[in-house]
Amino acid sequence: PGRPPPQRVRFLPTPGHDGATELVPTMVPVLAEHPLVRGPRFRRLKIGAGHRLDVKASGVFVLGIGHGNKLLTDLYNCHLSKVYTVGGLFGKATDDFSDTGTLVEKTTFDHITREKLERVLAVIQGTNHKALLMHSNIDMKTQEAYELAVRGLIRPMGKSPPIITAVRCLQFAPPEFQLELHCLHETQQYLRKVVHEIGLELKSSAVCTQVRRTRDGVFTLDDALLRSQWNLQNIRNAIWSCQVKVQAEIERTLG
């Protein structure tokens, strides 16, 4: 489909009425532009990835195609928080903090209750909040800083170590538990280390069984496409629906 093949005037020999062959000009389609000779029109696609997601984790993964890669850098500079659902298991400790590594030690976990866990989570949230305020480079004594803090918009707008803005315990059924974390500038391995440290704080040990990103800035699980939905129509619809949100967010943050 698309434009018709270009035509060219060629002089083809045809038998004339008196027997001799004459050269007659005729419009002939140029065979060099025929799809079978030229090959497919699109051979490659430039795809860039948003915030990294490592092999053992799953969840929302933002990709930019072609010219959309420029929006990716803008989104990165917005420093929006990401929401993860992290599943853990008490009683074991491995060398790479996840359940597929080599076992280092085994401990008991009968003494752990939900309140102790929530106390530890509150301590973590507190220390991270202090780090957040420190790295966001805003003078604490101004009125402007107070208003931003009330609306919850204090964010480090530059490079910073991983910061957890909020933690919540979703499920607690010993030895398994599930947490929901809102974080900035983190890697999945850092989250697994946090799970390990929670285990140590509770005088036991913990490994991380599942890391799942439920939100990446403006993109939620509802916008995400499953492996069976990876075709042209769905991708186009997804781009269309997310365009407005992305534009609004970039304008709001970067001005």
Active site residues: 54
User: Nearest approach, Cβ of 59 to another protein (angstroms)?
Assistant: 9
Give the integer Cα–Cα distance in Å for 254 and 235. 27
SS3 string, 120-135, reads HHHHHHHHHHHHHHHH
Give contact residues for another protein (rule: CB under 8 A).
30-32, 34, 36-40, 58, 212, 221, 224, 226-228
User: Nearest approach, Cβ of 31 to another protein (angstroms)?
Assistant: 5
User: Nearest approach, Cβ of 149 to another protein (angstroms)?
Assistant: 34
For another protein, give the closer residue by CB, 30 or 49: 30
User: Nearest approach, Cβ of 229 to another protein (angstroms)?
Assistant: 8
Give the integer Cα–Cα distance in Å for 206 and 92. 5
For another protein, give the closer residue by CB, 20 or 37: 37
Taking Cα atoms as reference points, which of 45, 13, 15 lies closest to residue 232?
45
Give the integer Cα–Cα distance in Å for 103 and 93. 6
For another protein, give the closer residue by CB, 39 or 255: 39
Q: Rounded to 5 degrees, what are φ and ψ at 86? A: -115, 125
For another protein, give the closer residue by CB, 81 or 85: 85
Degrees, nearest 5: CA angle 80-83-88: 150
